[in-house]
Amino acid sequence: MPELPEVEVVRAGLAEHVAGRTIAAVEVLHPRAVRRHEPGPADFAARLGGMRIDSVRRRGKYLWLEFATGVDDTDDAAHAAHAAHAALLAHLGMSGQMLVQPASAPDEKHLRVRLRFADDGTELRFVDQRTFGGFALSELLEVEGEALPRTIAHIARDPMDPAFSATHAARALRSKRTELKRALLDQTLVSGVGNIYADEALWRSKLHWARPTEKLTAAQADAVLAAATEVMAEALIAGGTSFDPLYVNVNGQSGYFDRALNAYGRVGEPCRRCGAPIRRDEFMNRSSFSCPRCQPTPRRRR
């Protein structure tokens, strides 16, 4: 469920189901799922044992678990003190799911990592068909007064962040010399926006994906960011966007924002604003959906 609203649905589900629980054992069923953890799967599993989950955080499309600083008395003190400064960073990639399941439930076909808890209740499973996602332990750093895993220190604040500055983000967009949609997808300018919500934000603000960022007016940059913020907030209320069982929350339930999409995936269908058939363009080896009338192709693309 990979864009901000879907990841936030997962974060909230994790906060509800795993916060406060102590990890008892970690099983890595596919090493690729922890490839970003340099010391390897065995180290990954060993370091998580005994850790008590304090909170579940998110920036953009990344999630992480922070751990209580208390040392579990069953653990080696030095190891626990070291591990307390690390977070369990997760990215869902294209097809990752976090599922909270009874231990008795049969393993999913693409089960990659299992976290068992000391309370013997439900377990947390990372299921990922394409294994573009995965976990890593990442040291927490202080960045602008907030603890952030080192690995994602380059990721910009997302529009749901209380400290997000639309002015700052608009300036960042306009300072690039690229196409508008590329800039929207650049997680170092504004995070959380992916292919669906970029197309929806562009449709709402009536801007074409190939508009050169350096020629945007401040009002246009503000408008597209406001549209992105708005559409993601609406999607979050709907539980995220899902067309198929791949995108589900920790209970396996789908969101229903797909019904509210105006551009994404609607090639050939009438624009809900003007009736013109939605077009599909190839863009960065993926698709871009837009209204040919509401979002005219700019004279000068980049």
Closer to DNA by Cβ: residue 220 or 242: 242
Contacts of 46 (CB under 8 A, 6+ apart): none
**Tokens matching residue 47:** 């370091």
Identify the residue among 132, 166, 222, 293 touching DNA (CB under 7 A): 132
DSSP state letter for 221: H
Does the annotation list 302 as a binding residue? no
What b/e string do you get for 27-47 counting C-beta neighbours within 10 Å, with b at 16 or more? ebbbeebbebbeeebeebbeb
Say which residue the tokens 């300072």 belong to: 175
29 forms part of the interface with DNA (CB under 7 A): no
Site string for DNA, 71-100 (x = CB under 7 A): --------------------x-xxx-----
Q: How far apart are CA 98 and CA 84, in angstroms?
A: 23
Does the annotation list 176 as a binding residue? yes
Q: How many residues bind DNA (CB under 7 A)?
A: 41
Say which residue the tokens 């910009």 belong to: 156
**H helical segments located in the chain:** 4-17, 41-48, 77-83, 166-174, 180-185, 195-204, 218-237
Closer to DNA by Cβ: residue 136 or 223: 136
Site string for DNA, 174-213 (x = CB under 7 A): --xxxx--x--x-x------xxx-----------------
Closer to DNA by Cβ: residue 173 or 223: 173
241 forms part of the interface with DNA (CB under 7 A): yes
User: Known binding site: residues?
Assistant: 110, 130, 176
Catalog residues that contact DNA under the rule CB under 7 A. Answer: 1-3, 32, 60-62, 91, 93-95, 109-110, 129-132, 152, 176-179, 182, 185, 187, 194-196, 241-244, 246-247, 258, 282, 284-287, 302
